[in-house]
Amino acid sequence: MPPAADVLARWPAICRHPDASAWLRLQADLGLAPRTIEAYGRALDEYLVTCTDEGIEPSRATRRDVARYVHELATRPHRLGPNVVAVDSGVGLANATLRLRLVAVRLFHDYLVEEGVRADNPVGRGRYTAGKGFGGTRHRGMIPRFTKLPWIPTDDQWRVILDASRGEGARNRFMFALAYDAGLRREEICSLRTDDIDPAHRTVRVRAETTKGRRQRVVPYSAACGSLFQEYLAHRRTLSTARGPLFLSESHRNVGRPITLWTWSKVIRAIAVRADVPRFSTHTLRHLCLTDLARSGWELHAIATFAGHRNTDTTLQYIHLSGRDLAQRLEAGMASIHAWRTQLTVDVIS
């Protein structure tokens, strides 16, 4: 966790506001994940800039003031302009990003209420209260929640992606196969250490501190992926013989240093460009793995345990995406699809 001073230094509007500085420092001291602190800092800094431009003091901001901030986020031109891969409306931030921005503002105002700076929270919460149809009257939040199914490539796109990854080095090919095989998030695979892999039982331990839900899990990987692991170990010894981070940088400037999230993102982005499948990302490998598990007939709770989901509602999207019920009626032999895809991945990129 970076020092609180370093966290605050990145956000000038927060530094100028004592209550905002105290709140963000509190979040850092409570041990929230660095990326969560980053997201909260960016959201709160933008909100305070809007308040300053509008001549509004956060301690006196109304729901209408917060709504203007939301409107500005929803209508601003995207920073990538025409180069953006996919934005629902063509302008503004994605629905999930908007809700994340508003969460930070809501939590900050909760802090002001707790400290006695103001009497209420202008953001409020979407909730049900007793009184009318279906057991209550719904009080909607400021931003509606859009629940979308994750994107996964078609089989033809997958083959093109595998062809594009064929020329990658031993590290990238093993990371690619393991990220799919074990359904790992970007942070999880980049944070693996040498003692997290158990080749005797072909399992990988995902430590709690590297996961989104702070839940440790142990997941298996295939024999084919194990062969790529042995190949990578031989290559890793040319970079470093020390135990520690499993995946090491190969660049001249940082040779032997732990790989960064951005390095892995660049690798996957380069593959996506070569394959001409721009929507392919580091998280696609996880989405595809979990969808394939649903296609092959895994039960909901088994997939949730494998994925490390706290709430099975998150896992349900893969069940829906897979069309499992229809597949069970229309096709036989789907139980082998996960093993088939794993073997195909290793065969093509080896």
- Per-residue model confidence as pLDDT tens digits over 255-285: 889 999 999 999 999 999 999 999 999 999 9
Distance CA 30, CA 114 (A): 17
pTM of the model: 0.68
Instruction: Give residue-wise pLDDT tens across range 169-191.
Output: 999 999 999 999 999 999 999 99
Q: Looking at residue 139, what is its pLDDT? A: 47
Domain at 4-139: CATH code: 1.10.150.130
Lowest mean pLDDT among 40-44, 50-54, 149-153: 149-153
Kindly tell me if the per-residue pLDDT of 83 is higher than 50.
no
Kindly tell me if the per-residue pLDDT of 244 is higher than 50.
yes
Kindly tell me if the per-residue pLDDT of 322 is higher than 80.
no
Residue entry with tokens 């063509």: 90
User: The tokens of 109 are what?
Assistant: 């105002």
Mean model confidence pLDDT for the chain: 82
Kindly tell me if the per-residue pLDDT of 17 is higher than 70.
yes
Kindly tell me if the per-residue pLDDT of 206 is higher than 50.
yes
Q: Looking at residue 171, what is its pLDDT? A: 95
Assess contact for 161 and 176: CB atoms under 8 A.
Answer: no
- Among 21-30, 96-105, 194-203, top mean pLDDT goes to 194-203
> Which of the pair, 53 or 234, is modelled with greater confidence?
234
Domain ranges of the chain: 4-139, 155-349
Among 1.25.40.20, 3.10.580.10, 1.10.357.10, 1.10.443.10, name the CATH number for the domain at 155-349: 1.10.443.10
Q: Looking at residue 36, what is its pLDDT? A: 85
